[in-house]
């Protein structure tokens, strides 16, 4: 070939994009021309430089934000579907408008609850306020972490272990953990409000209303009866909470059970998405240790039970099963 090869030609040659004839010419030329051989080596180095360019891991806060958005989207979808089902059940007597109308309603609903969930105007600012608001709605014990991170809260109270990891200007993820031993008494400890983190009957007064129950009911939940069993446990505990007698000591989680969920607070904050769990049961599922969480009903539905595998954290929750609690009465 005449003259030297340019970078574009050599780059095409390296990707085997040239015709056989042209490629043979370039190949032969490279063996005799140090200048073009150097250029070809530099092209290889471009790929190497790109390959070594660094980027950060995905922030935990973003994971939580997207999971919250997906949850909101799922909720919106369920809400959207409900009126349609009701209309169908009503023999179409009150079908509101043309078929397309429901579609636009659905879109509006999703936009309202899905797209905007966690949407930033600046992710450090907007998200922080969003998450803080969500959390504030479900717990009285709020510890907002200042700085570049997120507002986080103790979903379960009684442990002072709320720590912030919020380096200035960063996108630090919330870092909240139960660090102390889990109290074995149900009156104080995990179920107690922050203001009375010791023992006291004031904690019990909120059982079933604000503070979620963290118990170990001893139940071995099964797939077919998950909703019914969760409903029964919840009913039993609620009844006990409103009776003069204390819930039996057997429902307090043991340390070993709690150790299976060292990030219980973060986990609940993550999976509840701002909802306040009605029940948190360190129990078993099909014979294996698991966490059963009952989330309250939304939009006239029934409470929902989720079964989580051990190791649930603020970013990772392995949902083993879900079920809707049966309607009582």
Partner 1 sequence: MNGDNDAFGLLFTRHKDRLWAVAVRTLGDPEEAADALQDAMISAFRQASGFRGDSAVTTWLHRIVVNACLDRLRRRAARPTVSGLDERAMDVLSPGPGGTDAAAATETSLDVMAALRTLPPDQQAVLVLVDMLGYSVADAAAVLGISTGTVKSRCARGRARLLPRLAHLRGRGEPYVAGAAPVSSAPQDGTQLGNQPPSRRVSPAEGGEPQL
| Cβ at position 276, least distance to partner 1 in Å | 20
Q: Phi/psi at 215 (nearest 5 deg)?
A: -135, 170
> Under the criterion CB under 8 A, does residue 134 sit at the interface with partner 1?
no
**Candidate list 1, 33, 37, 77; residue touching partner 1; CB under 8 A:** 77
Q: Among 58, 108, 137, 146, which residue sits at the site for partner 1 (rule: CB under 8 A)?
A: 58
- Number of Cβ within a 10 Å radius of residue 226: 23
Q: Where are the alpha helices (DSSP H) in the chain?
A: 7-14, 20-32, 34-52, 60-89, 99-110, 123-136, 201-205, 226-241, 255-259, 264-272
270 closest CA partner among 236, 231, 311, 238: 311
* C-alpha 155: how far from chain center: 14
Q: How far is the CB of 105 from partner 1 (least distance, A)?
A: 15
Contacts of partner 1 in 264-323 (CB under 8 A): 304, 316-319, 322
Q: Hey, is 152 helix, strand or coil?
A: strand
Cα 189 → chain centroid: 25
Stretch that binds partner 1, among 2-10, 84-92, 128-136, 286-294 (CB under 8 A): 2-10
d(CA 109, CA 115): 10
Which CB atom, from 61 or from 162, has the smaller least distance to partner 1?
A: 61
The correct pick among 16, 20, 98, 299 for binding partner 1 (CB under 8 A) is 16
Contact pattern from residue 180 through residue 219 relative to partner 1, giving x for each residue in contact according to CB under 8 A and a dash for the rest: ----------------------------------------
The residue to which tokens 């109290």 are assigned: 183
Residue 126 makes contact with partner 1 by CB under 8 A: no
Task: Give contact residues for partner 1 (rule: CB under 8 A).
Answer: 6-8, 10-12, 14-17, 39, 42-59, 62-63, 65-67, 69-71, 73-74, 77-78, 81, 110, 114-115, 118-120, 122-123, 169-171, 304, 316-319, 322
């Amino acid at each position: 070939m005449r003259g030297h090869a340019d970078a574009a030609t050599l780059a095409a040659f390296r990707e085997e994009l040239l015709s056989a004839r042209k490629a043979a010419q370039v190949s032969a030329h490279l063996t005799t021309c140090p200048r073009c051989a150097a250029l070809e080596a530099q092209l290889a180095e471009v790929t190497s430089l790109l390959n070594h360019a660094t980027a950060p891991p995905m922030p935990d806060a973003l994971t939580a934000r997207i999971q919250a958005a997906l949850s909101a989207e799922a909720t919106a979808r369920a809400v959207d579907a409900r009126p349609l089902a009701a209309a169908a059940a009503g023999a179409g007597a009150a079908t509101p408008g043309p078929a397309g109308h429901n579609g636009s309603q659905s879109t509006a609903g999703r936009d309202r609850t899905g797209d905007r969930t966690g949407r930033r105007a600046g992710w450090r600012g907007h998200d922080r306020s969003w998450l803080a608001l969500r959390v504030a709605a479900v717990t009285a014990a709020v510890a907002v972490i200042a700085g570049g991170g997120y507002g986080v809260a103790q979903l379960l109270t009684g442990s002072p272990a709320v720590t912030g990891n919020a380096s200035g200007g960063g996108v630090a993820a919330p870092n909240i953990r139960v660090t102390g031993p889990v109290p074995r008494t149900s009156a104080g400890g995990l179920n107690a409000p922050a203001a009375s983190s010791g023992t006291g009957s004031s904690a019990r007064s909120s059982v079933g209303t604000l503070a979620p129950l963290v118990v170990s009911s001893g139940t071995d939940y099964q797939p077919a009866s998950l909703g019914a069993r969760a409903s029964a446990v919840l009913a039993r505990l609620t009844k006990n909470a409103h009776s003069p007698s204390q819930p039996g000591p057997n429902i307090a989680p043991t340390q070993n059970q709690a150790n299976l969920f060292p990030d219980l607070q973060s986990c609940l904050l993550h999976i509840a998405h701002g909802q306040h769990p009605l029940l948190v049961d360190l129990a078993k599922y099909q014979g294996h240790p698991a966490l059963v969480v009952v989330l309250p009903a939304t939009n006239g539905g029934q409470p929902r039970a989720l079964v989580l595998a051990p190791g649930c954290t603020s970013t990772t929750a392995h949902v083993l099963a879900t079920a809707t609690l049966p309607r009582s009465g």
